[in-house]
Chains A and B, each alone.
Chain A
Amino acid sequence: MSARRTPLAKPLATAREEPPASGGFAPSLLPKTEDDLRHALLGEAARFLDSHPEWKSPRAAADLWNLFRHRSRSLALDDFGYDEAAAKPWHELYDFLYTVWWRVTLSGVENIPTGGPALLVVNHSGVLPWDGAMVKRGIMREHPARRDARMLILDMFTTLPFLQPWLRHQGEVRACPENGERLLNRGELVGVFPEGVKGVGKLFRDRYRLARFGRGGFVRLALRTGAPIIPVTVVGAEEIYPNLFRMDVIGRPLGLPYFPITPFFPALGPIGFLPLPTKWWIDVGKPIPFKHGPDVADRPMIVNEFADHVRSTLQTMIDSRLSRRGNLFTGE
């Protein structure tokens, strides 16, 4: 069989030194010992295994694969699973989006305290939550203390496969009062989107009109932890995916809260995921003072009233920025 005569990775010198096989035939090139066979089959890798015997174990292959999977991860997680080492490589993408794609102008960042707890209340827009990523990255880039805002994320994003572990490594936390309280109690900067899914999935014709602010949970959170409420508005993100209709007929079976129809999605397929390069403004307002003490957390009317006050503050900030905004893409 010709396949047997294919050259093997065996040094020529050793082959010559061997005594000829009995019977007067030509010396066999087939490997004689187990080691020879391994060298023949694995070539350079076999030499490597000889010099590193610990890699011969069956768990070593698993280790190689697992270490490859963990190449950018660390063991230094916080209790919500935030892995700063794993989050770092993504900063380049965010920086590109921040400086080139959306050319974000961040103003009023000095209103965020350099230490201690604070609650950022942000308007939500754009079908995918890019606004949260930009607010977070903007504060990390431009705040004097380089504060790392922890965004509280909707359930729909934190329970989806693949997104769930990824968001956790980025330091995002599922939005629920217990999580917010735990973070604020240890002095972190926390961002919330009180509009929730009503905000992120809103239609193009409703752009820059704030939806209802949940049930005032963020006010109760601030009251219980004594964190100041800082309004933050994002202008420009409403137009990145012009959401013309919602096809819930398609979204519901897929487990999605909405299925957006934009001019580019799903008509152009994956190109539809590309957000439009609008010009963004992120404005951070002054902390909103609250005249009541923490004892009113159980009085829903006062809580609701204050939530509505925060909402109107945000709406005023958005309207004032919109009136000064010129072209959608250049801002002039």
Chain B
Amino acid sequence: MARRNAGGGRVVRFPRTGAEPGRKARIVVTGGAGFFGARLVRALLLRGDREVVVFDLVPPADMPADVRHRFLDLNLPFADGSLYKLLLEERPDAIVHLAQLRSPSHQATYAHELNSIGALHVFAAAGEAKVPRVILGSTSLVYGARGDNANFLTEDHPLRPDPRDRFVRDFVEAESHAREHVRRHPETSVQILRFVPLLSPEVRDYRAKLFASPVAWTLMGYDPLVQALHPDDAVDAILRALDRPGVNGVFNVAPEGVLPLSTIRLLFGSIGVPVPHPLAYALYEAAWLAGVGVMPGIHAHYLRYLCVVSNERARNALGFSPKRTTLDCALETARARFGEGRVVDFDLLTDTARAADFAYERRVHPWHGHRRAARGEKEAAS
């Protein structure tokens, strides 16, 4: 395929990409050796209709031999060049970019180079190598926790994280690189999946550590609703996005149901020590600087205000339907990790959760409203 270069009139020959007849679609997963990436790779292999290549620093552990691993370090200054060469050799049909740190890091420069500049490299190389599709894994934290957030943020909401929160800002920058890529290459398909932070017995990110710590500062008088997504549901959303190449744009990947932070603390058996919120920010920051904290102080916004997202677009456009609610994730994790020696009766709680799901469905699902309306009208008529 030849394209005329607008600048010098020089003809640049791009490599041919895309599916050849008889070839399985080839998916490149950056960060495929990480927790999230490895789960995606395993799910892709289970389906068996795609070839998977992992781009990561190390080969993924416990993988069958048909998963190929190519070394890629997005932190090197010319990572886009080496990635471009790899892409020319592999000629993938889609890149799923999951090579990100999903917890705040003390090495802020490293985190920025990976989460923001890494995405820049990926999009630059994908644009040069004419990769037809890129899926970027982002986070629902990009909306920012604000007192005036709507209860369920949709994809059209402006992104308003605290500018001092570098961890979240890097994801916002990665998304802006994606938008820039769409502007430069309108023919390519880009899907941005904003995942709600994950929670399952295996997840060890900063939020899981925060919930699991036996004693934690809480912001006095604040108890926001939070969501937690099961990794299997997150992987399912990527698979569905891969199945729908024509559906581009941004999608929130969120579970059903919400839980107050205090209820998660109840399930995990952790005591919250309420301190006035300015002091709580300072304590989190002090613990972070001392190297014992899990997140910088400014990130405590997410323990104060709502940042809950709506999964309506992903449901309608991608056919996403999460299998586990927030309560299911929290209950499963608490039971698996801290189920021993507890006063809280997990059997009873699991039963309650079933009843709660039922009550939730009854209240939240619109069809019931219509049914109730119909019944009400009949009563009024008789």
- B-binding residues in A (CB < 8 A): 54-67, 69-70, 73-81, 113-117, 145, 155, 158-165, 168, 173-174, 176, 178-179, 182, 185-188
Give Cα A173–Cα B356 distance, bound, in whole angstroms.
20
Return chain A residues, CB-CB under 8 Å to B221: 160-165
Q: A185-B366, A187-B366 are in contact. Are A179 and B151 (CB under 8 A)?
A: yes
Say whether B342 faces chain A, with CB atoms less than 8 Å apart: yes
Q: B222: which of A164, A179, A187 is its contact (CB, 8 Å)?
A: A164
Residue of B nearest to A148 (CB): B363
Task: Verify if B164 is at the interface (C-beta below 8 Å from A).
Answer: no
Check if B11 is an interface residue, CB within 8 A of chain A: no
30 pairs, A vs B, C-beta closer than 8 Å: A54-B343, A57-B342, A58-B341, A59-B214, A60-B269, A60-B342, A63-B266, A66-B265, A66-B344, A67-B266, A69-B262, A70-B262, A75-B349, A77-B259, A77-B260, A77-B360, A78-B359, A79-B364, A81-B260, A113-B376, A114-B377, A116-B372, A116-B376, A161-B221, A165-B262, A176-B148, A178-B152, A185-B369, A187-B369, A187-B370
User: Is there a chain A Cβ closer than 8 Å to B353's Cβ?
Assistant: yes
Could you tell me the distance between the alpha carbons of A165 and B151 in the complex, rounded to whole angstroms? 13
Q: Is the CB of A81 within 8 A of B262?
A: no
Given contacts A66-B344, A113-B380, 11 further A-B contacts (CB under 8 A): A54-B342, A56-B341, A57-B341, A66-B262, A66-B271, A75-B263, A77-B259, A79-B364, A113-B373, A186-B365, A188-B369
B interface residues, how many (CB within 8 angstroms):
57
Pick from B262, B343, B366: contact of A186, CB below 8 A. Answer: B366
Q: Known A54-B342, A60-B341, A114-B379; judge A75-B369 contact (CB<8 A).
A: no
Cα–Cα distance between A75 and B219 once the two chains are bound (Å): 22
Is there contact, CB below 8 Å, between B374 and A75?
A: no
Whether B150 contacts A62 by the Cβ 8 Å rule is: no
Q: Is B327 an interface residue (CB 8 A)?
A: yes
Pair A76/B343 contact, Cβ less than 8 Å: no
Contacts of A78 in B (CB 8 A): 359-360, 363-364
A268 to chain B, nearest CB (A): 26
Least CB separation from B364: chain A residue: A79
Contact A115 B374 (CB under 8 A): yes
Q: Which 8 A-B pairs have the closest CB atoms?
A: A187-B369, A161-B221, A115-B376, A57-B341, A59-B269, A116-B373, A114-B376, A159-B147
Chain B contacts for A67, CB-based, 8 A: 266, 343-344
Q: Determine the chain A residues whose CB is within 8 A of the CB of B344 once the complex forms.
A: 63, 66-67
Inside 8 A of A62's CB, which chain B residues have their CB? 214-215, 269-271
